[in-house]
Structure 1
Amino acid sequence: MKKDFALGAALSTVADKWHDQLGTLLDACAHISNHLDYTQNAHAEDGAAFDGNQKAQGLAGAQ
C-alpha cells in the first residue's frame, strides 16, 4: 500500500513538471507568433513597394 502512495506522489510530481513545461512552450509559441505578426505588419509597406516595382518593370507574376 505504501508503494501506491509513493507512486501517486511521483506521478503528481511528473504531472506538475509537464504542466510547467507546457506553459513554457505555450509562452514561447506566443512570443514567436507575436514576433511574426509584428514583422509582417512592419514590412507590409515594403512588400507593397516591391510588388509595385515588379508591376512597373513588367515582372509581376514572373518568378
Structure 2
Amino acid sequence: MTKKVFIEGMSCKHCVMHVEEALKEVSGIKEVKVSLEGKVAEIELEHDVDDEKIKAAVADAGYEVTAIQ
C-alpha cells in the first residue's frame, strides 16, 4: 500500500531530509520518497497507518500536511 502526502513549508534539500527522517520514524512506514518540487512525499506502508500519525510526524518536523491520498 502506498500513500501520497502533500506537504507545505519545504524550501530546500534540508527540509526534504527532515521530512523523510520524521516519516521513517512512524511505525508501519517502510519507505519514503520526498519531492521538493512536487511538495509531496510518497510513502510505502508495511500495514495501514492512521493518517493522523502521518500528519503528526510531519507537523512535529515543522511542516504542514495539506492532503493525503
More helix per residue: 1 or 2?
1
Relative to the length of structure 2, the TM-score reads: 0.25
More strand by share: 2
Larger Rg: 1
